[in-house]
Structure 1
Amino acid sequence: MSSTTPSYFNCPSVGKFPDPVSCTIFHVCVNAIFGLVDVPYDCPSGTQYDSVNAECTIDPVQCPGEPTLVCKKAGIYKNPYHCGRYYRCTWRYISNRYEIKQFRCPDFTEYSEQSAKCIKSETCQQNNTDFKCVQAGKFPVQENCKEYFECSNGLNGLIEQRKSCDLYQLFDRHLGRCRNECLVKCPIDDDETEIEEGKVFIKELLEI
């Protein structure tokens, strides 16, 4: 991460803090001889700072000036301010607060709390950009719950691979790994997931 030099931030205490203006900058405040010193950082390209979880992420985040998302109880809810997003509320006993994590629906769909999945929409056209590795890890594809992107460190940077979960498994978007399909709540239209499952099944039969 490259350091930046904004002059408008004042450290409230030692710790890590979001920038009050930009989604892509965060501040690390440290003790020095003459008081607190602000060390600003830029998130890696393609990521934004998640102030709730104190990390840079490729997932959607709540930027400065945006309305605050509310958690009244644990669960998954539609983002009322962005049609193509939904968020999960998880109670964390250690920090004594709800953890909020946002996710994107595929293009031209929106999250339905009634059906608990992303459904086709004629009005929600968010036009998500193509996936690009910006950090190591496993990430969901937009179109289904069977496949995922795996980003790993290579000699010349990040290596991107599109992979499929094993038969009878789906990719858990919340945990970031493949699990037994009966344990995964897929937010994508069931028909599309069944099509992908069938493709993998046929492919494995041909390889026998």
Structure 2
Amino acid sequence: MDYLQLSVIVCSLIKFSAAGTELPGQLLLSPSPRNSPAKREAATEPTCDGISVYSTCTDCNNVLVCLGSTQLERSCNTSSQSAAFCVNGTCSTIPDTGEGCFPPPVICTDVGFFPDPTICQIYHYCEGTDQESSVYECPPNYVYDAETALCNPKDSIEDCVTVKCDQDKIFVSYGTSKKYFAFCPFEENAVSSIQVFKCPENYQFHEVSCVFECPEAGNYAHMDATKYFQCYHSEAQLVFTVQSCPSGKTFDQSQQVCVTSEGND
């Protein structure tokens, strides 16, 4: 086997191994007072020709409908529909980022990565609660995997996970995730801004709240820093009790014990 044949085989193996790998996304938008959802900049304002029947985008969220000598404007960005972006003259759930149209940031509910509630190719990174997120986009034909915080190849339509709002429920799960869930505010039977939340470590979402579940025997952090969960086996079952730290101490997960709080040294 000569060098050229070997090189071809090696390149083929690299391409094959990379085909199913998880990938990080591309940063689209960073939080900044100057940042807002981008608008498509057109050299000239689109106008109708006065003869034909067609539609065209005037910017990222609005459509110009041409009906011969008549023209109408229609907004895609309404609370009554999820297709908030204009792409190729029609409303779409996915923005045309190549044309400078970006999905808006979300208001963060915690620190870390979060899936976008309505666009499975988009995800967010949050640096602090109540701040605007940084917006990321997965590569073409990839979707965000909330469990790994990376982009996975989209092999089927089921791989595209979004929040399914239900007017009969207060909170809804994010797909089959036990970590992420959402609150869908309804206004006049239409969903407004969806908020995505995540349960703390060792908690799982159960219909109306995050519930602690013991991963194994040991001590684990409680939402109240002055308390902790003590997990142990009882009659072949893993159970827990809630313990309180002594006054002036808080629980340290790395040491699994209560330590003196800052300011009480």
Q: With structure 1 as the length reference, what TM-score do the two structures score?
A: 0.36
Higher Cα Rg: structure 1 or 2? 2
